[in-house]
């Protein structure tokens, strides 16, 4: 039993416990009974013995995928006499979900086959036996997806005791060796060179030898752009496409990429009948081995998928219509914000009052000095604040110092105003956008999503009151034109989307003048990890995780993202480059000064007529008084 000890010492090292099962044979049960103390004492302390009676006449429906798995990191030691009995046993535990300890297709299987094999001196006879077991394990791979199998054939011709039997065959099955039509080879090892068995076993997933791996992948900005040769998609560009190429290169498999069968994208599960759609449905219905569109790591209503390690993070954000443009006549008031405008008015009023006080104080020391009225001083002080020449030179030194400081202050403010005014007139400005969940709640916009999974998951009932209100506004909408396109076109709803996608959607949807139609709410409801999915129990998952971890640690994934963003934004910059040329101001851009001029002319005209009327009444009153005086004389 030294060979069994040598094999088990590394083959079961990662298992938390070992499940030992005799299959459909009293000989197998007797063998386990004698073998159990040796395994318990020499190999592994945690041992579970399972003895199940498998129905022989019952037709057991079977499929390649295992449902409702609990991956318990167990290893298996199966003892069997007949290969068909082992297949029947695997079908039985695959379909009976109650045997959780026995259900792990990714576990390490050590299968001991008890048989009367002779001494195998005849090479032809030996090859027949090897071909027999090769066909057996080919069927196990195709039907159950079990990869980790090592077989020991023990000759029991003279069996009454374990020690009287001897190892007739040591082999491992590699399903990736061979041509497309005939995949799989039984690799026989010498019992004196167990190290070769170790190397052969650990190298299988490092080199799949061109094995076809079915990948479900759809086109999505910015992570997967199809590259065409005629009408045929030959490759994908973007982060997901880069991952596909690097996984294929490092694992040496042939990617068979195809879009989801039903044309949906990520997909979901219908609660009423349990059917699934999109890439999720391709994985659950065994139409694909790997889904390479990165998705949120969250619940999808099924326990039959597994996520790879995260390949990044992304926020679930909300896209809303861009706020309307401000009228052109408000340009003058957009140069400085309200606080600066209020501060400038206060400084102007205070300086004017100080000048007035200084003049009053100066008149006490110089009797012939005439002080101006407060209204006149307010008009005079406009000139230094507007960086204009003074109407008269101040008399006192204190006034001169203050006026000089006001001139410097006014020159800086006027220069800043002129420079900013050009920018304001050239660049369109908008009313405040929606940037918080409170503002979104107040807008009364419904929130559309193309994923049923996000209807209940986006906002929690335990969050803030605005979030609870928004939860009732999230609605599933399967619009043919797309939710984002509908928001840009109709401007009457909001839409959920990933931040990485929303950044490019905002750049894509524009008015004819290049201004944006969409806006991303800055406060995002959720942040998720991103990962790929495989069916639960997939033999490829551990190796995929290893490759993904290597790529993440090198930092190359961030480079892929930055390169994609640069290329896509460069396209949009070049497309709308004409909108950023020097602008010739139109009458619409300069309507504010003309409005001020018209208002000034109108006000001066009204004032003029008011003065004429006042003068007329004053003249009439004077003439009437003179007439009365003459009559009294």
Partnered with residue 320 across adjacent β-strands are: 519
User: Would residue 525 be called left, alpha or beta, if left means φ above 0 and alpha means ψ between -120 and 50 degrees?
Assistant: alpha
Q: What is the mean pLDDT of residues 475-488?
A: 86
pLDDT of 167 over the 60 cut: yes
Q: What is the mean pLDDT of residues 100-112?
A: 85
Q: What whole-number distance in Å separates Cα of residue 174 and Cα of residue 201?
A: 8
C-beta neighbour count of 95 within 10 angstroms? 15
Partnered with residue 236 across adjacent β-strands are: 226
CB 297 within 8 A of CB 314: no
Pairing assessment for the beta strands 518-520 and 312-321 based on DSSP bridges: antiparallel
**What tens digit of pLDDT does each residue of 115-142 get?**
765 555 566 777 888 888 888 888 889 8
Report the predicted TM-score, pTM, of the whole model to 2 decimal places.
0.77
Q: 54 or 403, which is more confident?
A: 403
Q: What is the mean pLDDT of residues 261-285?
A: 87
CB 41 within 8 A of CB 98: no
Q: What whole-number distance in Å separates Cα of residue 21 and Cα of residue 447?
A: 55
Per-residue pLDDT, 337? 81
Q: What is the mean pLDDT of residues 351-378?
A: 80
**What tens digit of pLDDT does each residue of 333-347 get?**
777 888 888 898 999
Q: What is the mean pLDDT of residues 67-84?
A: 82
Q: 109 or 189, which is more confident?
A: 109
3-state DSSP call for residue 258?
Answer: strand
| Element spanning 159, H or E | none
pLDDT of 531 over the 90 cut: yes
Q: What whole-number distance in Å separates Cα of residue 379 and Cα of residue 386?
A: 11
C-beta neighbour count of 285 within 10 angstroms? 14
C-beta neighbour count of 624 within 10 angstroms? 10
pLDDT of 163 over the 50 cut: no
Q: What whole-number distance in Å separates Cα of residue 528 and Cα of residue 597?
A: 57
Q: 628 or 307, which is more confident?
A: 307
**What residues have CB less than 8 Å from 504, skipping those under 6 apart?**
221, 222, 568
Per-residue pLDDT, 191? 67
3-state DSSP call for residue 237?
Answer: strand
**What residues have CB less than 8 Å from 461, skipping those under 6 apart?**
468, 471
pLDDT of 581 over the 60 cut: no
State the Cα angle at 517 between 512 and 522, rounded to 5°: 150
Query: Between the CA of residue 362 and those of 354, 372, 375, 398, 404, what are the distances in Å?
Result: 12, 12, 18, 9, 18
Q: 553 or 392, which is more confident?
A: 553
Per-residue pLDDT, 215? 93
Per-residue pLDDT, 157? 62
Per-residue pLDDT, 165? 52
Per-residue pLDDT, 451? 82
Residue 482: which of 464, 460, 497 has the closest Cα?
497
Query: Between the CA of residue 606 and those of 375, 600, 602, 603, 616, what are the distances in Å?
Result: 20, 10, 6, 5, 15
Per-residue pLDDT, 253? 92
Pick from 71-80, 284-293, 571-580 the range whose average pLDDT is largest: 284-293
Q: 365 or 96, which is more confident?
A: 96
Residue 209: which of 234, 184, 188 has the closest Cα?
184
Please give the share of the chain, as a percent, with pLDDT higher than 90: 14
At 371, the pLDDT band (50, 70, 90 cuts) reads confident
CB 211 within 8 A of CB 223: no
**What tens digit of pLDDT does each residue of 301-350 get?**
888 899 999 998 999 999 999 988 877 777 777 778 888 888 989 999 99
Helices (H), 274-387: 278-284, 338-365, 374-380, 382-385
3-state DSSP call for residue 57?
Answer: coil
At 520, the pLDDT band (50, 70, 90 cuts) reads very high
Per-residue pLDDT, 558? 86
Q: Which two tokens stand for residue 409?
A: 């202050």
Q: Which two tokens stand for residue 360?
A: 């009053």
Q: What whole-number distance in Å separates Cα of residue 63 and Cα of residue 623?
A: 117
Average pLDDT along the chain: 82
Residue 176: which of 166, 186, 167 has the closest Cα?
186
Question: How far is the first Cα of the chain from the last one, in angstroms, to the nearest whole number?
Answer: 154
Query: Between the CA of residue 162 and those of 1, 81, 85, 414, 576, what are the distances in Å?
Result: 9, 15, 22, 102, 82
**What tens digit of pLDDT does each residue of 198-243 get?**
776 767 888 898 899 999 999 888 888 887 766 777 788 888 989 9
Please give the share of the chain, as a percent, with pLDDT higher than 70: 88
Q: What whole-number distance in Å separates Cα of residue 128 and Cα of residue 150?
A: 19
Q: Which of 256-260, 384-388, 520-524 has the lowest mean pLDDT?
A: 384-388
Pairing assessment for the beta strands 447-449 and 474-476 based on DSSP bridges: parallel
Q: What whole-number distance in Å separates Cα of residue 91 and Cα of residue 143?
A: 9
C-beta neighbour count of 320 within 10 angstroms? 23
Q: What whole-number distance in Å separates Cα of residue 344 and Cα of residue 331?
A: 18
C-alpha torsion 376→379→381→387, nearest 10: -150
Q: Which of 53-57, 293-297, 468-472 has the lowest mean pLDDT?
A: 53-57
Pick from 216-230, 377-391, 431-445 the range whose average pLDDT is largest: 431-445
Partnered with residue 78 across adjacent β-strands are: 21, 111
Q: Which of 207-211, 423-427, 446-450 has the lowest mean pLDDT?
A: 423-427
Helices (H), 158-226: 194-203
CB 380 within 8 A of CB 392: yes
> DSSP labels for 368-381?
TPPPPPHHHHHHHT
Q: What is the mean pLDDT of residues 408-432?
A: 82
Angle between helices 397-426 and 338-365 (to 10 degrees): 160
3-state DSSP call for residue 291?
Answer: strand
Residue 179: which of 233, 254, 262, 244 has the closest Cα?
254
Q: What is the mean pLDDT of residues 74-78?
A: 86
Angle between helices 239-251 and 541-554 (to 10 degrees): 120
Q: Which of 58-72, 93-107, 449-463 has the lowest mean pLDDT?
A: 58-72
CB 372 within 8 A of CB 380: yes
Q: Which two tokens stand for residue 187?
A: 């690799």
At 629, the pLDDT band (50, 70, 90 cuts) reads low
């Amino acid at each position: 039993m030294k060979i069994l000890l040598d094999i088990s010492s590394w083959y079961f090292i990662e298992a938390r416990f070992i499940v030992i099962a005799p299959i459909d044979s009293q000989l197998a049960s007797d063998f386990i009974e004698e073998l159990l103390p040796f395994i318990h004492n020499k190999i592994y302390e945690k041992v579970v013995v399972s003895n199940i009676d498998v129905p022989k006449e019952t037709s057991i429906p079977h499929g390649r995928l295992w449902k409702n798995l609990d991956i318990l990191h167990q290893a298996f030691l199966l003892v069997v006499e007949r290969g068909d009995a082992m297949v029947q046993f695997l079908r039985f535990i695959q379909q009976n979900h109650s045997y959780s300890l026995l259900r792990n297709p990714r576990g390490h299987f050590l299968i001991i086959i008890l048989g009367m094999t002779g001494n195998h001196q005849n090479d032809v006879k030996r090859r027949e036996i090897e071909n027999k077991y090769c066909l057996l394990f080919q069927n196990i791979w195709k039907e159950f997806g079990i990869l980790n199998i090592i077989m020991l054939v023990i000759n029991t011709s003279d069996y009454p005791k374990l020690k009287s039997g001897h190892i007739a065959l040591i082999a491992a099955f590699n399903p990736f060796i061979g041509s497309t039509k005939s995949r799989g080879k039984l690799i026989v090892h010498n019992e004196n060179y167990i190290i070769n068995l170790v190397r052969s076993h650990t190298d299988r997933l490092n080199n799949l030898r061109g094995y076809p791996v079915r990948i479900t992948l759809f086109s999505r900005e910015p992570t997967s752009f199809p590259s065409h040769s005629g009408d045929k998609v030959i490759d994908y560009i973007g982060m997901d496409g880069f991952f596909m190429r690097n996984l294929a290169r490092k694992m040496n498999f042939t990617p068979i990429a195809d879009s989801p069968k039903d044309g949906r994208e990520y997909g979901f599960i219908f609660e009423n009948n349990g059917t699934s759609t999109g890439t999720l449905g391709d994985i659950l219905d065994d139409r694909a081995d790997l889904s390479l569109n990165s998705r949120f790591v969250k619940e999808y209503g099924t326990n039959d998928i597994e996520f790879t390690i995260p390949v990044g993070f992304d926020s679930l954000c909300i896209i809303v219509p861009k706020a309307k443009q401000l009228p052109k006549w408000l340009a003058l008031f957009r140069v400085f914000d309200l606080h600066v405008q209020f501060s400038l008015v206060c400084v102007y009023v205070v300086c004017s009052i100080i000048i007035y006080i200084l003049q009053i104080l100066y008149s006490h020391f110089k009797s012939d000095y005439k002080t101006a009225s407060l209204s006149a001083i307010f008009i005079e002080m406009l000139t230094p604040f507007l960086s204009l020449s003074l109407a008269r030179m101040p008399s006192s030194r204190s006034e001169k110092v203050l006026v000089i400081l006001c001139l410097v202050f006014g020159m800086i403010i006027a220069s800043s105003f002129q420079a900013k005014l050009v920018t304001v007139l050239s660049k369109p400005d908008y009313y405040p956008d929606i940037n918080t969940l409170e503002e979104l709640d107040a807008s009364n916009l419904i929130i559309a999503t193309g994923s049923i999974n996000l209807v209940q998951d986006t906002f929690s009932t335990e969050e803030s009151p605005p979030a609870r209100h928004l939860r009732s506004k999230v609605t599933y909408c399967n619009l043919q034109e797309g939710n984002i396109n509908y928001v840009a076109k109709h401007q009457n709803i909001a839409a959920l989307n990933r931040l990485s996608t929303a950044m490019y959607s905002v750049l894509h949807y524009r008015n004819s003048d290049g201004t944006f139609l969409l806006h991303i709410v800055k406060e995002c409801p959720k942040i998720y990890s991103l990962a790929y999915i495989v069916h639960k129990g997939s033999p490829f998952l551990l190796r995929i995780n290893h490759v993904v971890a290597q790529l993440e640690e090198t930092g190359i994934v961030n480079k892929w993202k930055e390169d994609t963003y640069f290329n896509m934004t460069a396209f949009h910059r070049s497309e709308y480059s004409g909108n950023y040329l020097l602008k010739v101001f139109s009458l619409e851009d300069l309507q504010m000064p003309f409005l001020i001029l018209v208002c000034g002319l109108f006000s001066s005209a009204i004032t003029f007529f008011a003065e004429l009327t006042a003068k007329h009444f004053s003249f009439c009153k004077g003439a009437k008084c003179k007439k009365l005086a003459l009559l009294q004389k």
